[in-house]
Amino acid sequence: MINIAIIGYGYWGPNLVRNFSELPNAKVVAVADLDKSRLEVVARRYPTVRATTDIQEILADSGIDAVAVATPVNTHFQLGMAVLKAGKHLWLEKPMTETSLQARKLVDEAERRKRVLLIDHTFLYTGAVRKMAEIIRSGDLGRVYYYDSIRVNLGLFQRDVSVVSDLAVHDFSILDYVLGEDPVAVSASGTNHFPGTPENLAYITLFYASGTIAHTNVSWLAPVKVRQIFVGGSKKMITYDDLEPSEKIRVYDKGVSFTDDPKQIYQMRVGYRTGDMWAPKLEVTEALQVEGAHFIDCIEHGGTPQTDGRLGLRVVELIEAATSSMRGQGETMYMQRQGKAA
């Protein structure tokens, strides 16, 4: 049985507490939050769980094996480092840290102390993203030409992070997983329509050595909520609509072919192929259940999480590159990755 504590019981923390409580080999023993009114909610929902405003109580408790940190990003480095230094395994919310230097330090600390470090890039544990990765990796799509994503809605405006840190992180982690290739360059445009606040709208392009191009449009200023990804390959194409209750993923047997045959040079050289569409069956278990079980399994058996600190670091590097590019009005940023395995 792994004893776990959760720091931060705002919007996301309750999902962690609920999911860890449901795992057979994990026990939520404590929840910490600076806000007493949040702790009153914990006491009502989970009367046997210790609720505290003092995180030192958690760090000093040798009976606690692991800590999940679900507080605002500007606290992640300090809290995460304190958890690792206390010798506990760490689940840290996305985005991992404010800077890649901080992320690198957490990766090093976890490795030195042989602690499990999982960054909560939840999408990578959903049935839809796993199926998309399976199809792309099997070669069914052929060469991946592009990844096109739109992730927009009205709000929730955040004061401490930009829309890139809030929403584009999902595409950065999904791309890392499904393509298995690092972007070589990033270019982004974005703006804050309200002075003194972080960017609330951004268009980000990632370039890959293989020729794949990826683009994501993220915004807190759209009249409707859209969560859509298109992936186009030389053989097939995928659409992923996260708001679809069923058939989130559809695979289209569509594409184009060009002929170089000199005899046909004066004729139409491009052919269009339109075949069947199918919607694969998806795993429906809640992503946080899958991810929580995976975290506990890594602790019990010494494994490396699918979304480890190095993935978290690669995502933070992309946030930094996109942010620098936005502030340089789309200037191309060439990536020098630190987040790759040594």
Ligand X SMILES: NC(=O)c1ccc[n+]([C@@H]2O[C@H](COP(=O)([O-])OP(=O)(O)OC[C@H]3O[C@@H](n4cnc5c(N)ncnc54)[C@H](O)[C@@H]3O)[C@@H](O)[C@H]2O)c1
Least spacing, CB of residue 342 vs ligand X, in Å: 27
Beta-strand pair 201-208/249-258: unpaired
How many residues touch ligand X under the rule CB under 6 A: the total is 22
Structural contact between residues 98 and 73, judged by C-beta atoms closer than 8 angstroms: yes
Q: Which residue has the tokens 């792994």?
A: 2
3-class DSSP state of 129: helix
Among 19, 33, 106, 290, binds ligand X (CB under 6 A): 33
The number of residues in the chain equals 342
Alpha carbon distances (Å) from 64 to 36, 87, 241, 242: 22, 10, 39, 36
Among 94, 104, 131, 236, binds ligand X (CB under 6 A): 94
Among 10, 87, 180, 211, binds ligand X (CB under 6 A): 10
In degrees to the nearest 10, what's the CA dihedral of 28, 34, 35, 41?
Answer: 10
3-class DSSP state of 261: coil
Structural contact between residues 66 and 99, judged by C-beta atoms closer than 8 angstroms: no
Residue nearer to ligand X on the CB measure, 91 or 145? 91
Q: Which residues of 202-211 are buried (b: 16+ CB within 10 A; e: fewer)?
A: bbbbbbbeee
Least spacing, CB of residue 140 vs ligand X, in Å: 28
**Region binding ligand X by CB under 6 A among candidate stretches 8-16, 103-111, 146-154, 231-239:** 8-16
Query: For residues 205 and 164, what is the distance between their CA atoms, to the nearest angstrom?
Result: 12
Q: Tell me which DSSP letter residue 308 carries.
A: B
**Region binding ligand X by CB under 6 A among candidate stretches 11-19, 173-181, 200-208, 306-314:** 11-19
Residue nearer to ligand X on the CB measure, 13 or 309? 13
Least spacing, CB of residue 14 vs ligand X, in Å: 8
Say whether residue 38 binds ligand X (CB under 6 A). yes
| Structural tokens at position 288 | 């946080």
Q: Which residue is nearest to ligand X (CB)?
A: 10
Least spacing, CB of residue 161 vs ligand X, in Å: 7
Least spacing, CB of residue 166 vs ligand X, in Å: 7
Least spacing, CB of residue 83 vs ligand X, in Å: 11
Q: Which of residues 49-78 bind ligand X (CB under 6 A)?
A: 55, 70-73, 75
Alpha carbon distances (Å) from 59 to 64, 84, 247: 8, 9, 44
Per-residue binding string, ligand X, 109-148, x by CB under 6 A, is -----------x-x--------------------------
Least spacing, CB of residue 61 vs ligand X, in Å: 15
How does DSSP assign 29-91, residue by residue?
Answer: EEEE-S-HHHHHHHHHH-TTSEEES-HHHHHT-TT--EEEE-S-GGGHHHHHHHHHHTT-EEE
**Region binding ligand X by CB under 6 A among candidate stretches 9-17, 202-210, 232-240, 308-316:** 9-17
Residue nearer to ligand X on the CB measure, 10 or 303? 10
| Structural tokens at position 315 | 């995502």
Q: Which of residues 155-174 bind ligand X (CB under 6 A)?
A: none
Say whether residue 8 binds ligand X (CB under 6 A). yes
**Region binding ligand X by CB under 6 A among candidate stretches 28-36, 101-109, 128-136, 258-266:** 28-36
Query: For residues 51 and 41, what is the distance between their CA atoms, to the nearest angstrom?
Result: 10
- Chain Cα centroid distance, residue 305: 13
Say whether residue 7 binds ligand X (CB under 6 A). yes
Residue nearer to ligand X on the CB measure, 38 or 89? 38
Q: Which residues bind ligand X (CB under 6 A)?
A: 7-13, 32-35, 38, 55, 70-73, 75, 93-94, 120, 122
